[in-house]
Structure 1
Amino acid sequence: MKKIFYAICLIFMVISCKKTDAKLTKIIAKTIEIDSTIQPSVALKTVISPYKEKLAAKMQKVLSYSSEELNKKDSVRQSLVGNLMADLSIEMVSPLFNKKTNETIDFVMFNYGGIRAIIPKGEVAVERAFKIMPFENELVVVELTGEKIKELISYFINNKKAHPLSKNVQLTIASGNYDLKINNVPFDSKKTYRVLTSDYLQSGGDRMTFFKDPVKLTKLNYKFRDVIIDYFKEVDTLKSTIDNRIIVK
């Protein structure tokens, strides 16, 4: 009798373990509105709160000071915040690039839309760097032919925006033509030039396709935001000017 019982149990076990092909028969969707009636989880809030407070303290840490508002609307082709971002980048990155390659950076170009916030008058905290550059973009150096530099300048002129260019550039635009100097030396179309920019733009972002397929690409493993933060730490008072790097006649 026991043998028969065990045999029956074994048969049921084999049947229950048999694999069957699962098939999706129905999908049910439900919309759950998130509003003030939904109360936060006390347990989850308790876990998150210490990290939130620590992050808030870090973001509010004052790094520098600005004696005036640095905004994006100071001039047709320049802005105080754009000039500052371009100039601080070449200042901070040049020693690193020189050590890595034994070469120098000729100038910097970013895009107008990439600078996402102004710098208000007063104390400048870590949070401001995140507002200016909320993306994880890294800086790179591209070596471009003279023809590529011509494309870059044509883009700058035709786009009619204050794309940040460092003070190494002296560009005069007049009657559909232009005069270009780089580091006070007339542009030479037969030379190559090393331009500091972001990896986003180097990949053709904002239609800056002239950065693609350079003669040489040097990755620096240095985030644009970190460059800004490091500069803010070093400089007591932020200063920027609208100068003669771009002249429109």
Structure 2
Amino acid sequence: MKKLLFFSCLLIFLSCKQEKKSLVKITAKTIGVDSTLQSNKEIENVVAPFREKMIASINTVISYTDKDLVRTDGELESSLGNLMADLSYERGNPVFNKLSGKNIDFAMFNYGGIRAGIPAGKVTNKHAFELMPFENSLVVVELTPEKINELINYLIVNKKAHPLSKHIKLIINNDSYELLINNKPLDDTRNYYVITSDYLQSGGDKMDFFKNPVNLFKLDYKVRTAIIDYFKSKDTLTSNLDGRFKKM
């Protein structure tokens, strides 16, 4: 009787034991997304107002230009690059002055950071987003004269139309160059304040001279926001090639 009871309990225990399971096969199927799929009406009713508001906002006219603004209309400078550098200085300097009590000396950005041109005609928010699709912010770096020389050598070696504000005058002549910052030669006894993007300040586009500055000032101001604010403040956008960076 005892043996019978033992074997009965053993059978019950074994029947309750969970077997270890393993993956044998994976199956998948493709669900085509096309015009035959019907949208969910309830979801569409919720999304539609937001979509319409976004479309209206992105197409809102905020300025005007009577000519195409592009990054390719000059050898070492461009109409769009000059505009971008100048507007960044104009919008950023009051913020920096309030933060530090000082003024920015000039602005510099990278040629590759300009992602689209602005065609002649009405300028909308869409153009600003296409020009600057990244979430980069404006920063100001305090650079020593040695770092400024590195910056100038970078410009000379690269020979690209990197955006520079009108406060710079750089003329290359064979193996020499002439540099003026705010109409004055480089002063070896003082530091300079340069506005740029946080991406470039971290060494983007190999602009290592922006890294490890004497001081770094974060303006908490998106580059795109500065562009939009500037566009809104101008009835007509104007920018020309003025020889701020050229070779003889």
Normalised by the length of structure 1, the TM-score is 0.87
Q: Which moved more, 1:210-219 or 1:154-163?
A: 154-163
Structure 1 equivalent of residue 11 of structure 2: none
Q: 1:39 aligns with which of 30, 37, 40?
A: 37
CA-to-aligned-CA distance 1:101-142 (integer Å, 9 cap, x gap): 000100000000111111110000111110000000000000
Change (3 A) 1:24 1:80: farther
Secondary structure at the counterpart of residue 163 of structure 1: coil
CA distance in 2, matches of 1:177, 1:24: 73
CA distance in 1, matches of 2:213, 2:120: 39
CA distance in 2, matches of 1:40, 1:66: 43
Which ranges of structure 2 fall in alignment gaps of 5 or more residues?
1-15
Normalised by the length of structure 2, the TM-score is 0.87
Q: Which moved more, 1:200-209 or 1:29-38?
A: 29-38
CA-to-aligned-CA distance 1:192-243 (integer Å, 9 cap, x gap): 1100000000011111111000000000000000000001111000000100
**Is 1:78 matched up with 2:108?**
no
Percent of counterpart pairs with the same letter? 52
Tell me by how many angstroms 1:39 deviates: 1.8
Structure 1 equivalent of residue 7 of structure 2: none
Q: How does 1:156-235 map to 2 (within 5 A)?
A: 156-235=155-234
Q: Which structure's CA Rg is the greater one?
A: 2
CA-to-aligned-CA distance 1:55-91 (integer Å, 9 cap, x gap): 0001111110001111111111111011000001101
Paired positions, count: 234
* Cα root mean square deviation, aligned: 2.3
CA distance in 2, matches of 1:161, 1:155: 10
Change (3 A) 1:157 1:31: farther
Which ranges of structure 1 fall in alignment gaps of 5 or more residues?
1-15
Change (3 A) 1:37 1:23: farther
Structure 2 equivalent of residue 146 of structure 1: 145
